[in-house]
Structure 1
Amino acid sequence: MLKIYLTLPLIFFCWLFLVNISSAQSSGDIWLSTGIQNLSSRDEGFSLMKYKGNKTTSTVGFNLSKRNKTQWFQGDFSYGVLTNQVGGTLNEMGVNFITHTFYHKVKSPDRGLHWGWANKNTFHIRSHNNFSNYNFRYDYFSALGPSVRYILPFVWKKKSFVWQNGANWQLIGLQVKSGYIGAEPEDYLKGESLANNFFNTVRPFIPVKDLDLGFSSSLFWKLPTNNQLGIRYQYNYSKLSGIKVVHRLDQSLELVLNVRLW
């Protein structure tokens, strides 16, 4: 019995020690960025014409790096006016939230190639300025797929830099978008309950038939305060199938401040 009383406190202190070690080996960063996004979009449920233009975009991200994996959470907002070939305009707003999880059990979290997975949630709203009826359009999808990143720290002229590239391919999930011409989603039934209406509008996000590909490349300069200042280029292409297809291609250039929290 005495051995048990002596062993239990020892186990407790060992557990507490391991918890402190694991928390001490983690690091957290917050990411703030702003820039310009060039967007080209075609919603065949409304028009076969392409709308394109520049939008402002802002991003907030949080990076939690542990010994075996890194989790990245990012939310961004963009807004601007797009124009078609004959001068028609629409106001376009986009909201994205994406999470990445990268695994590096036998690697450094600060360099090299890391594989993982990503979940992306995207919502876009469009208001056509040249129409009084059926001028409101939207689409949403949530999808899951593989993700990869490559980090290369280097020194140039006695300054420390980090070059970071990432890519993700969303494969499977669900989507909801406006129906043909009208703003109501496909198969929306007015006589049904709200829950039934929602499930009737949900469609699967099918690999290859539906598509979302993203790529980003960032260059950071490490500041003496252990923070980083950088510039990022981001490319994304998406296609949502259905009765009528929605295509979207955007490219962004952003200034980034990365702040080390701990």
Structure 2
Amino acid sequence: MKRWFLFLSFLLVQVAVFGQDKQRTLFWNAGTHNAWERDFAYSPLLYSGASFGFTLGYASVGEKKTDEVYLHYSRIPMQNAFDANMAGTHAHVMTYTFYKASWLPEKFTLGWSNNNALSLRNFEDAQNFNPRFDFHTSFGPAVQYQTLFGKVEQWRFSSQAHFQVTGFLFSASYVTSPPDPFLHEQSTFNAFWQSIRFFQPFQQQDLGILNQLFYQLSNGNEIGVGYRFNYTNLENAQRSQRSIGHYFFQFNFQL
């Protein structure tokens, strides 16, 4: 029993020491979402609108590596040019991993990103056609630029971008809400497996940019503003496109 106690104490000390080597931040932001969306299976017309959305996130910054996780959610009422209504719900988990390399300029880091995005579309005039949806998980390169300025470097500006090149896609069929394999008599697992499509580079597009400006408070926390833009073009049984711009106010809490 004593050995287990000593081992547990040693493990806790190591975790604490490891945690001291990294700066850990929990953050929350909220602001307006402006979006347009188009589902060619239903209509070639653009639906656009604006609403309120929020993001929760976590960042771990070390000497050579930075990890970030963003959880976004928004629900946006949209209309087309003929005043037909559509409600768009967007939720996704975005992760970034950046590495500092000796050959890079001091303020740049390179890495990769992973986007897990869900889009739900409910068309007011298509009761038997709802909900339309698509989900994709994709991976690609990412780059970040960051600089400090001010008398005591209390201001921080960062800009990062991603471009997804490979992954998987799961979406509604051309004429029904469920994917085609779910319309046949077979197990749910087989139907799901047959519904997955490869996220093909340059045939599917998912790219975005995030710009942020922060001011550091005396307690080490930060307040700031930012803008996030994301564009997605997916092609499976049909093509769906969407673009979202998010202006937000953010709080960063040091852990």
TM-score by length of 1: 0.87
- Counterpart of 2:193 in structure 1: which amino acid? F
C-alpha deviation, 1:39, in angstroms = 0.6
**Equivalent residue number for residue 49 of structure 2:** 53
Is the aligned partner of 1:125 residue 2:120?
Answer: yes
Distance (whole Å) between structure 2 residues aligned to residue 45 and residue 150 of structure 1:
39
What is the CA-CA distance between 1:112 and the residue it aligns to? Answer: 0.9
Q: Percent identity?
A: 25
Cα deviation per residue 1:96-136 (whole Å; 9 max; x = unaligned)?
Answer: 1011111125599xx71000001110001111112322132
Q: Separation in 2 of the partners of 1:93 and 1:204?
A: 23
Unaligned runs of 5+ in 1: 1-14
Secondary structure (helix, strand or coil) at the match of 1:188 reads helix
Distance 2:62 2:103 in 1: 11
Pairing 1:168–2:162 present: yes
| Mean Cα deviation higher: 250-259 or 111-120 | 111-120
Residues 182 and 188 in structure 2, CA contact (< 8 A), matched pair in contact too? no
1:96 matches 2:81: no
Q: For 1:171 and 1:252, how far apart are their aligned partners in 2?
A: 23
Residue number among 210, 215, 218 corresponding to 1:216 in the alignment: 210
Gaps of 5+ in 2: 1-10
RMSD: 2.3
Number of matched pairs: 245
Distance 1:209 1:147, change over 3 A: same
Give distance in 2, aligned partners of 1:100 and 1:232.
17
CA deviations on 1:54-88 (whole Å, 9 max, x unpaired) are 02110001001122211101101001201011000
Residue deviations 1:183-233, cap 9 Å, x none? 111443420110110011110000000010010111111111111111011
Query: Aligned in 2, Cα 1:81/1:164: closer, same or farther, shift over 3 Å?
Result: same
Residue 143 of structure 1 pairs with residue 163 of structure 2? no
| CA–CA distance in structure 2, aligned partners of residues 100 and 204 of structure 1 | 22
SS of aligned partner of 2:242 = strand
Distance 1:175 1:76 in 2: 19
Counterpart of 1:243 in structure 2: which amino acid? A
Q: In structure 1, what residue type is equivalent to 2:126?
A: F
For 2:234, the equivalent position in structure 1 comes to 240
1:227 matched residue in structure 2: 221
Partner SS for 1:71: strand
> Which of 4, 20, 23 in structure 2 is aligned with 1:27?
23
